[in-house]
A and B are shown apart, each in its own frame.
Chain A
Amino acid sequence: MLKLYIKRFIQNKFALWGISFIFILSSLALFSPFIVPYAPLEQNLLERLQSPSILHLLGTDDLGRDLFSRLIYGSRISLTVGFVAVSIATLFGTFIGLVSGYFGKWIDSTLMRIVDILLCFPTFFLILMVIAFLEPNILNVMIVIGFTSWTGLARLVRGETLSFKEREFILAAKSLGLSTPKILFFHLLPNVSAPILVSATLGVGNAILIESSLSFLGLGVQPPIPSWGNILTTGKDYIHFAWWLSLFPGLCILFTVLAFNLLGEGLRDILDPRSQN
């Protein structure tokens, strides 16, 4: 089985490209202290808004900080925002979906009504409101994105759970007297893990994008902490006379989100039991 997946993976160019990009990016983020030529917060006011050169590969920002170093460090922040938000959403959505689908009855209908209500809300409106009211900082940004983007997954997991819960292996587990949590997490969960994995992969990209949109409205990760979103927002104000300040963070976001999406899309194909060859 695993062999088949690996074979499919290698055949899927998009997924391969996505995972390679993400791998390289994660290594850069992990080892950023050893890579960056300058400290990301180190100011050099005499060298503000320098265009790209040998000294500063991608130029400098409005405080003379090295853009390359900031983007490398920013990858840490942006990836963290993406992963943490997605972890929250995945844990929460999976749990709600499993519980809702497995227990059914009033638990199911209550939870699904809540999901319905949340789905009628424009997520971004909700996020904006909560963050503005709490206080925009990196922690709140991650938590709020996480807690507002679990609904789709919950529905998905619920549907899958419903289709599995009357199957023989679950009924057998029940008759053996296994505890409910055991059935849920050791027997049901593995069977619904494929769509969860796909949704989580797509979610990371989405969270990075949401953070940049929040930054545009001034409610994302706050400076001086460099996130790609707030570097791009700063760059936006300089777009007329310092093109590099918006171009590079823009491309960082673009390629990273693209990589996660292509990987997610690839995973969907690869893990889909119906897809042939």
Chain B
Amino acid sequence: MASYLFKRLLTLLPLLLGITFLTFLIMQLAPGKPTDLITDLNAKMSLEAKQKLTKLYGLDRPWPIQYWEWLKRLSKFDFGKSFKDDRPVIHKILERLPATLLLNFLSLSLIFTLAILIGMTAAAKKGALFDKLTTLFVYLGFSIPTFWLALLLMILFGLKIGLLPISGLRSLNFEELNFLQKAWDMLQHLLLPVSVMALTGLAALARYTRSSMLEVLHQDYIRTARAKGLKEREVIFKHAFKNALIPIITLLGLMLPELIGGSFIFETIFAYPGMGRLGFEAIMSRDYPVLMGIGTMVAFLTLLGNLLADMLYALADPRIRYK
């Protein structure tokens, strides 16, 4: 197991390298320079002052050199400094990472639970009304533009009913609350974003669970179990579920980057202080070190997620041996 893990970790390296290289390449497409946002159309700034800034940012060198420099620094876990405010990129990311992970973890858990419940029940009752309704429901969730749904729910629950806060992660008096109140406060703020994220991300997993469950239900051992006279519920939850779980776990790993990528929209509309917004602002202001940092971080998280999925896979299926 340990040697397998080590091997897997080794294969992560070229992937990470490839991802950073790709990010860097894409950034070379960009005509804008990060000094734009500070300097442009600011009539009080002279040309010389602008060139000075470009030089300070080290943007006058050819890009392969810039990439090499970046890699050298990365080997020391130094992601460089943000062009926007000169703060270390790693700090900027770490500040926002917990909020993003929290949102994604909660949504993913909710998606996982709901998808399995819906998928399994739908498979067991294939063709029945429940199957059809849930099919429609999960696809409705998938098909609705997220920011529109978010805004509608904010108006409904925030403004009209007044039950939930509209945006943000914490109330303004957060510091004055005790631990329980703090948790309650954050929970209230998280309810809408997590629900919207779960609802819109449910389809793939729910449908996948259903189809892999159907496949399992056709297998011989299930027929045997049924023939033995086991109760249907027992057949499904005890025997079929475990085997259907395996492909679901793999898909979960693949969903990670999509979820984190989707954060751009959620964080912007919910004024949620996470990594997606940092990334979007970095794109718009050409903050290369931050972009590289986020690219690397997200890729790393995804690879880690895949690794984790593989290991869960092994736990769920004892037939898989590590070579």
Contacts and interface: CB of A to CB of B under 8 A. Distances in A.
Contacts of B258: 122-124
Interface in B191-220: 203, 207, 215, 218
A212 interface: yes
Contacts of A270: none
Given A129-B23, A261-B143, 18 more contacts: A122-B260, A123-B261, A124-B261, A125-B261, A126-B26, A128-B264, A128-B280, A133-B30, A133-B31, A213-B265, A216-B145, A216-B147, A232-B148, A246-B151, A254-B143, A257-B142, A261-B203, A274-B218
Interface string A223-251: 00000010010001001000000100010
A-B pairs, 5 with minimum CB distance: A122-B261, A257-B143, A124-B261, A133-B30, A122-B257
Interface residues of A, number: 43
B151 A236 contact: yes
B257 A258 contact: no
A120 interface: yes
Nearest to B28: A133
Contacts of A130: 26, 29
Interface of B: 14-15, 18-19, 22-23, 26-27, 29-32, 132, 135-136, 139-140, 142-148, 151, 155, 203, 207, 215, 218, 254, 257-262, 264-265, 268-269, 279-280, 283-284, 291, 294-295, 298-299, 302-303, 306
Given A129-B291, A133-B30, A239-B155, A250 B15 contact: no
Nearest to A268: B211
Nearest to A211: B145
Given A209-B143, A246-B148, A261-B139, A128 B283 contact: yes
A93 to B, nearest CB: 16
B201 to A, nearest CB: 12
Nearest to B29: A133
A145 interface: no
B118 to A, nearest CB: 14
19 contacts: A117-B15, A117-B19, A120-B19, A120-B302, A121-B295, A122-B258, A124-B258, A124-B264, A125-B261, A125-B279, A129-B23, A132-B30, A134-B29, A213-B264, A217-B280, A257-B142, A262-B135, A265-B139, A265-B207
B143 A123 contact: no
Nearest to B31: A133
A119 interface: yes
Interface centre among A129, A209, A216, A253 (most CB of B within 10 A): A129
B15 A116 contact: yes
B280 A121 contact: no
A101 interface: no
A174 interface: no
Contacts of B295: 121, 125
Interface centre among A119, A125, A132, A216 (most CB of B within 10 A): A125
A129 B31 CA distance: 12
Given A236-B148, A250-B144, A258 B283 contact: no
A256 B291 CA distance: 34
Contacts of B303: 120
Contacts of B31: 133
Contacts of A95: none
Interface in A87-139: 113-114, 116-126, 128-130, 132-134
A122 B26 CA distance: 14
Contacts of A126: 26
Interface centre among A118, A120, A124, A265 (most CB of B within 10 A): A120
A73 interface: no
A14 interface: yes
A262 B155 CA distance: 29
Contact of A119 (B26, B151, B254): B254
Contacts of A134: 29
A205 interface: yes
B145 A253 contact: yes
A254 B257 CA distance: 24
A178 to B, nearest CB: 35
Contact of B268 (A119, A132, A209, A217): A217
Interface in A174-209: 205, 209
A117 B303 CA distance: 10
Contact of A258 (B140, B151, B291): B140
A113 B143 contact: no
Nearest to A124: B261
Contacts of A265: 135, 139, 207
A270 to B, nearest CB: 14
A236 B143 contact: no
Contacts of A262: 135-136, 139
Contacts of A253: 143-145
A116 B8 CA distance: 14
A253 B149 CA distance: 12
A14 B31 CA distance: 47
